[in-house]
Amino acid sequence: MIIQIVGLPASGKTTALNKAKLLIDAYFFNIIDYSEDDLCKKLKGLSTEKKLCIVESAFGLELHSHVIKLKPSIALFKKNLSKRGIAYDCDHFEQLNDQIVLADYTAYSTQELLKILKVLIPSKHLKDFYEKEKL
């Protein structure tokens, strides 16, 4: 099973997935660390072995997968951009947003993202989810 977590830069994907790593037994990939071809080959091999793979990327890949879009509040998004020294430009981010693959689900916070993952992922991949859920 492949799950993609997509969203604009500074939407909180990495922060959310760092929490998810504590709760979920899966292979985690950030597209920024791979060429698209290399990642697709790696994912194909792991999915053939019935492994759970979670992929983080801004725009997503055209894969047979579940796609969850992380879309934080505009206030949090602007705060995250500010931390990176990036100015908010509505038109620019709308154009980027249009390039994101179509999502099956939208999460508006880390907690919502974790809840969606908990529903999608078979229980054998969840590590003490109920005890650590409040991270």
Write down all domains in the chain, each with its CATH number in brackets. 2-123 (3.40.50.300)
Taking residues 116-133, what's their average pLDDT? 78
SS3 30: strand
Q: Are 63 and 43 in contact (CB under 8 A)?
A: yes
| Tens-digit pLDDT profile for residues 95-106 | 888 889 999 999
Q: What is the pTM of this model?
A: 0.86
| Tens-digit pLDDT profile for residues 18-49 | 999 999 999 999 999 999 899 999 998 898 78
SS3 8: coil
- Amino acid type, 81: L
